[in-house]
Chains A and B, each alone.
Chain A
């Protein structure tokens, strides 16, 4: 079945540091890929998405590129802020059948001054 593997956290960075959170997936077809973010005490929010190979999703300075050859969708940001502290979830979905999202375990990011 489908699965998502993302790097273990927590990740602790100083403000303005570069961020990478690795995500790889296993899927039988051509899934859509997502990054969701969960701020403390809040629900899941869609951060960005990509629906086909080589697509780049971007939002709020975050980027991720759908790499079919390496089955990866790594999240990057050039300069993190304290307000980016949250838990980040990588997920995939089969686009044709409106099926469930399959999530990674989540990576907690803590940004300090």
Chain B
């Protein structure tokens, strides 16, 4: 079946602009995660959604970052007033349910470059 998809695959923006990144999880997966992969910081957790529960936002680096998940499926990560340090690959992952062995399936990522 279809895996996790993300769009756009690449995004170039100017400092100070807002960007939206989209993630379509695997159908039927109730858990959705966003991570950031950057040269200096490795792979960092950003935010986690599980069903209709309040999201775990503990990894968001600043209040310029926000995310929503509509209808328990598609998620959008929004970065406002982008800064050059936001340049990174943003990865989305999904998981079947709230329990189990923790296996997450990743999308191809969105490569963001802030000029």
- Chain A interface residues (CB < 8 Å from chain B): 31-32, 34, 36, 42-46, 49, 51, 89, 93-106
Number of cross-chain contacts by CB at 8 Å: 66
B103 touches A42 (CB 8 A): no
Interface residues of B (CB under 8 A from A): 31, 33, 35, 42-43, 45, 48, 50, 56, 59, 91, 93, 95, 97-109
Q: Are A101 and B101 in contact (CB under 8 A)?
A: no
With CB as the reference atom, state the residue of chain A lying closest to B30. A98
Residues of A within 8 A of B45 (CB): 100-102
CA distance A104 to B42 in the complex (A): 8
B102 touches A32 (CB 8 A): yes
Is the Cβ of B108 less than 8 Å from the Cβ of A42? yes
Q: Is the CB of B97 within 8 A of A98?
A: yes
CA distance A103 to B33 in the complex (A): 14
| Minimal beta-carbon separation of B48 from chain A (angstroms) | 6
Q: How far is the CB of A20 from chain B (nearest CB, A)?
A: 21
Given A103-B43, A105-B42, do A98 and B98 touch, yes or no (CB 8 Å)?
Answer: yes
